[in-house]
Each structure stands twice: as C-alpha cells, then as structure tokens.
Amino acid sequence: MSTPSYNSRLGLFDDPTLPLVATVMDVNAMPEQFTRYLHASGVDPKWQATKCAIEKVYYRPGKHCGVLYRLALRHVSGAETDEWIYGRTVPAGTEEERFEKALAGLKPTPSAHEFLRPLPPISFWRDLNMILWVFPQDPDLETLPQSVDSAYVRQQVEANLEAFGVSANGSAAQWRCPEFYYDRIKFMPSKRCVLRYHVNLLDPSGKSHEKTFYCKIYNNGNSRYHFDMLKSAYEQLTVKSAAVNIPRPLLHFDGLHTFWQEEWPGHALLDVIDQYDWQDIFRRVALVLASFHRSPANGFDAAPDLNEVLEKADEDAAKLLRLWPQQQALVSRVLELLHATKKVFDNQEMPAVPIHGACRIEQMLARGNELALVDFDAVTLGDPIHDVAELIASLQYMGLTRGLDSERIAVASEAFYRSYAEQVPWACDRRRIGWYALAFLMTKFYSSTKNLERRALQQIETAGKAICEDWLNTVGAM
C-alpha cells in the first residue's frame, strides 16, 4: 500500500488508495454534486442543495475517509431546511463488501424529512465510491432513530412528568405532550449525538407549557456511567456548593444508551466571545474553574497521571509521524523534553481535586455575566493544572483551527492564568502547565491529521511550531 503524502497546497494528504478525498472535501463543489445525486435518487427536483458544511471528518489512511455533511436544502417556494448526511469514501475494489456490511443487521430508518425519503437511508454513491447514511441512520448508533421518533419521545415525556416539575398527583395523568421537534446540535457518527428537544405540554386546563432540554445518545452502555458522573457533579458542585453552573441532568434511558439534560438558557461562549472584553471574560472563566477545583467533591475516578499523559502523547506522536514524517524534528524535541523533565513534576505535590478533563471554552455557556460548564464525560479527581493547561493549549490551538488572533489569545491566556493563580492555594508552575500543554499539543496535531482540519494542517509547521517553541522554552528553563 502506498504511503499518503502531505499536499501543502490543498491542506490534505494525497492518498493513492483514496483518490477522491479532495473531491468529497470540496465544500464549494459538493452542493451541486449532492443536488444531482438526490434528483437521480428520486428526490423532488424542486429541492436543491445550496450549501454543504463539513462538520466532522474521520480519515483513516488507505482505509476510508468519513465526512459528516450538514446539507442546506432549499425549495423553489423559498422553504429551507437542513440535514446531516454521513458519507464514507472507500478504496476501489472494497465498495461492494463494505456496502453489504453497512446494510447487514440494520433496520432502515427513513429521513425525518418526507421529501428526502426517496433517498434510501443507506445508499452507495458510485461516482464518489461513497457509502451514505442519511440521519438518523448511523453505522453504530442503533438507538438514534428511536430518539427522534416523535411518538416515543412524547410518550416518555408524559411518563416522566416529575422530571419537568409536574407533581405526581391525580392531575398528572391528565397532562399531555402533543408536540415535539428537535434541533441538530452535534453529531459524531458511530460515537454520539446531541439534540435539543422542544416539547409542548398541555396541563389539565389546556394551558401550554413549553419545555426545552437536551438529549445525548451514545453508542454503548457507557452512557449510564457518564450520566451518573454528571449527576454527581451537579449535586455536589451546583446544588450543595453552588461552585459552578451545571445544567440539571433529568433522566437516563438504559436501553437507549441515552440521557436527557435540562437546558441552561444561554449561548455557547465560543459563539459570543467577541461580544465580551477578552481579558474580562477569561478572568471570569478562571474564577469558575478555580471555584470548581476548590469544591470538596468526591466519588469520581482518578484522573490520568503524568505517566498516562506521557504515554498518550507518545502514542499520538507516533501515529502523527507515520502519516506525516516531516514533523519528526519538532516532535522529537517535544518528546525528549517531556521524558527528560517528567520526574521533576512527579516530585511536585499537587492536590487531587475535581477536574473537568476536557476543559475548553467550547464546553462553556454564557448568559450575561454568568458562565456554565457542560460535557462532564471526562470528570475525574486529579491534578488541577491538567485543566489549566488544556484550556490554554486549546485556546492557542484555536489560532490554527479557527483563525483566532494570536495576540488576543496571548493576552487572554495571561489574564486567565493570573486570575486563576490568585484564586487557588496550590502552586501554578508555568513549567508544569507547559509540560501538559506540550503533551496535549501532540494529540491536537494528530487529531488535526485524522480529522483533516485543513486550516490547522496548513499552519502546524508555522504557527503550531511557534506555540511549541514557546512552551519548549518555558519547560526547558529549569
């Protein structure tokens, strides 16, 4: 099998076994391609694909390239909607076997949009050698179709009215849930999906009560563990100590690998961050995180220690170099320093506190001067500097993935660090932060290759290297 090579002009890898990767990643050409395919599949020609956003990519060299599209669709009448379609282009010669495997054992579920139903839930697009799954069909999320079934959801709402503040008395049986619809929030094909539910409850008098909450679907029984950890975090950190705003967990459905969580009215901080003074908002982020870390919570699993963090960095760096060996010099310098200095940080005494485990501004909501934390799948007890370093490193990396201004990022990071350090009793050694940051950057670099984050790939050798150099200098000054 030929080894893929990085094409800096395209920001992609030239993969001889997957020659159509550049085609399926072309967001400008794909709407027309989709329009032709939909019409050829029997979809009413009055509907056109007008935009094709790529929300997730799963690239496996020589094996497949999966692309999650959010397809914007427009009717000649002016009506507009959108839908998730997941496509996986595969090597020539493997398509029949892969397509048969995709069909095997799955119960076909038609699209929620009636006009798309002529398109099979799973189909093969021969021109692109691509298998397509139309939402809610998914290769591994077998319970996803039930989670968007209106009759089922309304039935579950009526059966669990107490979760929505309706007391379990005689009148509860007279409440009804006649309406349900959902917004598509986040989808990771084969892994998990987040939807925002909207339901209308009618009380015995006929008065309407609108309720909005979130539904999170997993591909296995780990959903129960994640729900229990979320519930524990909510009860200890929001109810008892008021340390941090966490949206209330509502219900878990064991058979569906799904849980529901209350809406915390607000906006994703990343979406509205430019409405704030960056120094001010990151000082407030620091206050929230420090309050979270100081809370006397318990009952969580142990966080990864330095050995496990280093092992993860080693593994991801090795995967990165197999695909992109030109990064050998930088990666080797990072790994050598991580190994050489780990013992120093092993000898530092740090408390075991509740940590988020994936502390990035993408996991925060904003409402005026208030902030809330979401997504507690990785909550553990461990080193608070883990969270501090992840937040700073992920913010820096957004300069690559989202084009955020590097100077603003530097000022915001410093404001966050100083405010956090003032709020906690433990040492906030910049070198320790840098050690974690370098380890996390190895994973971020690798993630950008396997997810084909083109903007990041085109800047790893410049802006990415500069970030690493700064941290190498910080950690090396020992």
Tell me if the pTM is above 0.85.
yes
Side-chain-side CA neighbours of 29 within 13 Å: the count stands at 8
Q: Is the pLDDT higher at 1 or at 145?
A: 145
Asked whether the beta carbons of 66 and 40 are under 8 A apart, the reply is no
Average pLDDT of the segment spanning 282-309:
95
Is a pLDDT exceeding 60 seen at residue 1?
no
pLDDT of 223 reads 94
Q: Is the pLDDT higher at 477 or at 259?
A: 259
Asked whether the beta carbons of 420 and 289 are under 8 A apart, the reply is yes
Q: Percent of the chain beyond pLDDT 70?
A: 98
Q: Quick one: pLDDT band at residue 243, thresholds 50, 70, 90?
A: confident
Residue 313, number of CB atoms within 10 A of its CB: 24
Q: Quick one: pLDDT band at residue 172, thresholds 50, 70, 90?
A: low
Residue carrying the six token digits 């919570």: 297
Average pLDDT of the segment spanning 447-462:
95
Q: Quick one: pLDDT band at residue 331, thresholds 50, 70, 90?
A: very high
Strand-strand pairing, 192-202 and 249-253: unpaired
Token pair recorded at residue 203? 């009380």
Average pLDDT of the segment spanning 149-159:
96
Average pLDDT of the segment spanning 152-162:
95
Q: Cα angle vertex 79, ends 75, 68, to 5°?
A: 75
Side-chain-side CA neighbours of 307 within 13 Å: the count stands at 1
Q: Which residues pair with 84 in a beta bridge?
A: 70
Residue 107, judged by CB atoms within 10 A of its CB (0-12, 13-18, 19+), counts as exposed
Is a pLDDT exceeding 70 seen at residue 356?
yes
pLDDT of 167 reads 75
Gap between the Cα atoms of 103 and 196, Å rounded: 28
Average pLDDT of the segment spanning 175-195:
96
Token pair recorded at residue 197? 């539910």
Nearest alpha-carbon partner for 386 in 354, 410, 339, 418: 354
Is a pLDDT exceeding 90 seen at residue 108?
no
Token pair recorded at residue 477? 């000054």
Asked whether the beta carbons of 65 and 57 are under 8 A apart, the reply is yes
Gap between the Cα atoms of 363 and 355, Å rounded: 13
Q: Quick one: pLDDT band at residue 8, thresholds 50, 70, 90?
A: confident
Q: Quick one: pLDDT band at residue 171, thresholds 50, 70, 90?
A: low
Average pLDDT of the segment spanning 299-307:
95
Q: Quick one: pLDDT band at residue 74, thresholds 50, 70, 90?
A: very high
Residue 136 preceded by cis peptide, ω within 30: yes
Gap between the Cα atoms of 233 and 376, Å rounded: 8
Gap between the Cα atoms of 384 and 424, Å rounded: 10
pLDDT of 22 reads 96
Q: Which domains does the chain have, with CATH numbers?
A: 5-134 (no CATH), 144-262 (3.30.200), 267-476 (3.90.1200.10)
Asked whether the beta carbons of 19 and 61 are under 8 A apart, the reply is no
Question: What's the mean per-residue pLDDT of the chain?
Answer: 94
Q: Give the tens place of pLDDT for each residue, 342-354.
A: 999 999 999 999 9
Asked whether the beta carbons of 311 and 342 are under 8 A apart, the reply is no
Is a pLDDT exceeding 80 seen at residue 447?
yes
Indicate the DSSP class of residue 357.
S
Q: Is the pLDDT higher at 310 or at 237?
A: 310
Is a pLDDT exceeding 60 seen at residue 157?
yes
Token pair recorded at residue 188? 């990771």
Residues 6+ apart with CB under 8 A from 338: 310, 313, 435, 438, 439
Residue 267, number of CB atoms within 10 A of its CB: 12
Residue 66, number of CB atoms within 10 A of its CB: 23
Is a pLDDT exceeding 70 seen at residue 288?
yes
pLDDT of 424 reads 97
Cα 425 to the chain's mean position, in Å?
32
Average pLDDT of the segment spanning 431-437:
98
Gap between the Cα atoms of 379 and 243, Å rounded: 15
pLDDT of 168 reads 60
pLDDT of 170 reads 61
Gap between the Cα atoms of 317 and 323, Å rounded: 10
Average pLDDT of the segment spanning 218-223:
89
3-class state of residue 176 by DSSP: strand
Is a pLDDT exceeding 90 seen at residue 3?
no
Asked whether the beta carbons of 336 and 353 are under 8 A apart, the reply is no
Asked whether the beta carbons of 398 and 429 are under 8 A apart, the reply is no
